Amino acid sequence: MNWYAVRAIYRYEMARTARTLTQSVISPVLSTVLYFVVFGAAIGQRIDQVEGIDYGSFIVPGLIMLSLLTQAVSNASFGIFFPKFVGTIYELLSAPVSHWEIVLGYVGAAATKALVIGVIILATAGLFVELRIAHPFAMIAFLLLTCITFALLGFVIGIVAGNFEQLQLVPLLIITPMVFLGGSFYSISMLPPFWQTVTLFNPVVYLISGFRWSFYEVADVNVAVSFGMILLFLALCITAIWWIFRTGYKIRS
Amino acid sequence: MPDIVVVDDLSKTYPNGHSALAGVSLAIREGEILALLGPNGAGKSTLISTICGIVTATSGTVTVGGHDTRTAFRAARSLIGLVPQELTIEPFETVRATVEFSRGLFGKPPAPAVVERVLRDLSLWDRRDSQIRTLSGGMKRRVMIAKALAHEPRILFLDEPTAGVDVELRRDMWAVVRRLADTGVTIILTTHYIEEAEAIAERVGVIAKGRILLVEDKDQLMQKLGQKELRVELQTAVPALPAEIAREGLSLSEDGGTVIYVYDRRGERTGITRLLSDLAAAGLTLRDISTRQSSLEDIFVDLVKENT
């Protein structure tokens, strides 16, 4: 195991975050604050409690997931796409590192960043609304697994993407709608029956539901199912990466 | 000297059917400077990329320091430093950070003293905290060399190190290469500038259309294949060569003022004595005589022409 290489990649990626602090940390935090102001304070006052929880508090897990998912995906995808784009990937390919060491470095850094942002948003939320975390360990587990899984997904996107447009496309056209329609701002039980069924095909529903359960013990689907689903995603992403490296798809000629 | 890199029957055919390498075998000796000379598209970069692990070979094997580059890729690759042809370098990093990154990537623990020495050797120490995008082209290229040397490799591959570089910088680069060679690093460089191979290489390999045409000591190559040219300037120009002195290799310059005789210096008899006495017998008065050894360029052009 070439730990020095993993560390080098990890530190390099974290240094990139530090260089782009505004873009990496401040902007997701700012947009979350805006969500609180708009949905929590302005609109929330006119909405009754959802499943016995104040609306402002109810949306916190969903908001954290929204940032977590987008940040994990965009950081990891950009992290591996950029060397491909500028050509510095030659160094990774000629270095004595295994594929999984490369993944560990990039995905580890992207997951760390997403986690840090998630925690910052959680703390920010605490300033606006009353927070209660019923199952802290489950919450941390969901947080970690989500960061890792979506960082892996981002890594796959970064490798497959041929240009900057494609790199932006997946987060923009798939992830954001999935999160918004995945019950970030509402309970699925508030939907008509037909849409409740449709929603169950949205993987993000399971993440948000499970994550919210760890806060308030209310869930749209059973928490065990949520947990199973995220592990399934994790397995899918790992399989995709394994296949990419085995075939050299889009990286090695 | 023992061979440090052994390439055996290496072939690379791309999915589109293009054959970039067609059965290349090559042994690189420890500590030498080997120049791989060939026209654009000859397969030089593919060969280097395959040895370094960037391109997967279709068939054949490569061992580096005795380690197979596929089955023992860690051991093999940690001996190698690669400077690619393109100036591909992260623009927003600082010089020192990027060199430290390379060292880590190649599995070496942090060593500020080594990094400092590498940067000093390449005259980059004063710019160690500068962002790379603020450096000149020549400095960027040196940063890439610094990155390749950061993990103290025993073999350095330089792919077209002076392509698109001005004359002064080229000489500067050659000096860098010679200094590195003095420290015992094996250096393989590709070039399509014959002048470059002639100036710094100890051995020269000629590659064209994915094949190695020959690998020879540079001096021997020049001697072996080198023809010499004898130029005899005449006191007064003649309209044509007198029939009695005509022989193979002999011609007259356009203005009729110089007799040119191309001969093989390896030959038992060069025919110079005979020619000179025949010239005198024909009544031609000589003003000056000079000889010229054909350059690597002439040899190269001949070889590539013959084989393509």
Q: How far is CA A158 from each of CA A99, A161, A164, B190, B194, rounded to the nearest angstrom?
A: 15, 5, 9, 32, 41
Helix (H, G, I), strand (E, B) or coil at B46: helix
Q: Please state the rounded mean pLDDT for residues B112-134.
A: 94
How do residues A185-231 score in pLDDT, each as one tens digit?
A: 888 888 888 888 888 888 899 999 999 999 999 888 899 999 999 99
Give the chain A residue nearest B109 (alpha carbons).
A4
Taking the alpha carbons at both ends of chain B, their separation in whole angstroms is 33
Distance CA B292, CA B279 (A): 20
Contact B106 A92 (CB under 8 A): no
Give the chain A residue nearest B93 (alpha carbons).
A16
Residue linked to tokens 């006052």:
A45
Strand duo B59-64 + B258-264: pairing: unpaired
- Which pLDDT value is given to residue A34? 87
Categorize the per-residue pLDDT at B225 as very low, low, confident or very high, splitting at 50, 70 and 90. low
Whole-number CA gyration radius for chain B: 24
Residue linked to tokens 């560390």:
A7
Domains of chain B (ranges, CATH numbers): 3-223 (3.40.50.300), 227-294 (3.30.70)
The helix (run of H) or strand (run of E) holding residue A120 is helix A99-128
Q: Please state the rounded mean pLDDT for residues B140-167.
A: 90
pLDDT higher than 70, residue B45:
yes
A116 or A252: whose pLDDT is higher? A116
**Who contacts A36 (Cβ-Cβ below 8 Å, separation ≥6)?**
A56, A63, A124, A125, A128, A129
Distance CA A31, CA B275 (A): 92
Residues of chain B contacting residue A7, judged by C-beta atoms under 8 Å apart? 104
Strand partners, B6: B27, B63
Q: Letter for the amino acid at B285?
A: T
Q: What are phi and psi of B280, to 5 degrees?
A: -65, -40
Categorize the per-residue pLDDT at B209 as very low, low, confident or very high, splitting at 50, 70 and 90. confident
Please answer whether residues B299 and B264 qualify as being in contact, where contact means their C-beta atoms are separated by less than 8 angstroms. no
- Which pLDDT value is given to residue B173? 85
Q: Please state the rounded mean pLDDT for residues A90-110.
A: 94
Categorize the per-residue pLDDT at B87 as very low, low, confident or very high, splitting at 50, 70 and 90. confident
Residues of chain B contacting residue A88, judged by C-beta atoms under 8 Å apart? 88-90
Q: Give one DSSP letter per residue of chain A, joined into a string.
A: --HHHHHHHHHHHHHHHHHTHIIIIIHHHHHHHHHIIIIIIIIGGGS--BTTB-HHHHTHHHHHHHHHHHHHHHHHHHHHHHHHHHSTHHHHHHSS--HHHHHHHHHHHHHHHHHHHHHHHHHHHHHHS----S-HHHHHHHHHHHHHHHHHHHHHHHHH--SHHHHHHHIIIIIHHHHHTTTSSS-GGGS-HHHHHHHTT-HHHHHHHHHHHHHHS--SS-HHHHHHHHHHHHHHHHHHHHHHHHHTTTT--
Give the chain B residue nearest A92 (alpha carbons).
B105
How do residues B58-83 score in pLDDT, each as one tens digit?
A: 999 999 999 999 999 999 999 999 99
Q: Letter for the amino acid at B109?
A: P
Contact A4 B56 (CB under 8 A): no
pLDDT higher than 90, residue A171:
no
Min Cα distance A15 → chain B (Å) is 9
The answer, for A92 touching chain B at a CB cutoff of 8 Å, is yes
Ranges assigned E (strand) in B53-170: 59-64, 67-68, 80-83, 155-159
pLDDT higher than 90, residue B47:
yes
B72 or B304: whose pLDDT is higher? B72
Q: What are phi and psi of B274, to 5 degrees?
A: -60, -45
Q: Please state the rounded mean pLDDT for residues A15-38.
A: 82
Residues of chain A contacting residue B89, judged by C-beta atoms under 8 Å apart? 86, 88
Contact B73 A96 (CB under 8 A): yes
pLDDT higher than 90, residue A153:
yes
The answer, for A2 touching chain B at a CB cutoff of 8 Å, is yes
- Which pLDDT value is given to residue A155? 95
What percent of chain A is predicted at pLDDT more than 90?
49
The answer, for A42 touching chain B at a CB cutoff of 8 Å, is no
- Which pLDDT value is given to residue B135? 93
What percent of chain B is predicted at pLDDT more than 90?
49
pLDDT higher than 90, residue B116:
yes
Please answer whether residues B276 and B283 qualify as being in contact, where contact means their C-beta atoms are separated by less than 8 angstroms. no
- Which pLDDT value is given to residue B226? 63
pTM: 0.84
Q: Which of A2, A88, A97 sits opposite B90 (nearest CB)?
A: A88
Q: Please state the rounded mean pLDDT for residues B210-236.
A: 83
Structure ipTM: 0.87
The answer, for A9 touching chain B at a CB cutoff of 8 Å, is yes
Which has the closest alpha carbon to A151: A239, A79, A97, A243?
Answer: A79
Q: Please state the rounded mean pLDDT for residues B43-65.
A: 93
Residues of chain A contacting residue B75, judged by C-beta atoms under 8 Å apart? 96
Residues of chain B contacting residue A91, judged by C-beta atoms under 8 Å apart? 82, 102, 105, 147
Strand duo B203-208 + B186-191: pairing: unpaired
- Which pLDDT value is given to residue B308? 64
B169 or B116: whose pLDDT is higher? B116
Residues of chain B contacting residue A12, judged by C-beta atoms under 8 Å apart? 93, 97, 101
pLDDT higher than 80, residue A250:
no
pLDDT higher than 90, residue B198:
no
- Which pLDDT value is given to residue B224? 65
Q: Which of B14, B80, B105 sits opposite A97 (nearest CB)?
A: B105
- Which pLDDT value is given to residue B185? 94
A240 or B162: whose pLDDT is higher? A240
Contact A96 B78 (CB under 8 A): yes
Give the chain B residue nearest A105 (alpha carbons).
B105
Q: What is the dihedral of CA B23, B44, B203, B153, to 10 degrees?
A: -100
The first and second tokens of residue B128, run together, are: 């160690």
Q: Please state the rounded mean pLDDT for residues A102-107.
A: 96
pLDDT higher than 80, residue B279:
yes
- Which pLDDT value is given to residue B111? 95
